[in-house]
Structure 1
Amino acid sequence: MNDKTPRRGGFRHIFGVPAVLAIISLVGLIAALVGDGWLDFLSWVTLGVPIAVMFWAYGRRRQAKA
């Protein structure tokens, strides 16, 4: 099997990372709405995680094309 062959996976393999990112985002949104102080910090961190993952995936994809 070479690198260009698509991998097959189950439900968890396909939707695992998006589901985790959705839960992290939901925690961040709720923390931003209900709290102050350390909950503000929690919301910034949890809402930054999906953005960081997006940049990481974009960089990884660009390296694979080169």
Structure 2
Amino acid sequence: MKAGQPLTTIFAAPLLLALLSVVGLVAALTGDGWRDALSWAALAGPVATLLWATARRRS
């Protein structure tokens, strides 16, 4: 990591993952149909990121 990175650079990815999680959870709780698809897609993002980071760290 570079020294002196701005806070927006440091917290951009965690903020995006948090927003995806909130959108997915709210969509899952508020309705059916297209909201189910939205919740699956939004909640798959953080899971996919976790799997990618784990695979990258092991190699």
State TM-score, norm by structure 1: 0.80
Relative contact order: is structure 1 or structure 2 higher (C-alpha 8 Å, sep ≥ 6)? 2
How many percent of aligned residue pairs carry the same amino acid? 48
Q: State the aligned residue count.
A: 58
Superposed displacement of residue 40, structure 1? 0.4
Superposed displacement of residue 45, structure 1? 1.1
Give unmatched runs, 5+ long, in structure 1.
1-5
Name 2:2's counterpart in structure 1.
Answer: 7
Give unmatched runs, 5+ long, in structure 2.
none
Once the two structures are superposed, residues 25-65 of structure 1 have per-residue CA deviations (whole angstroms, 9 ceiling, x without a partner) of: 110011001111010011011111101000101111112xx
RMSD: 0.9
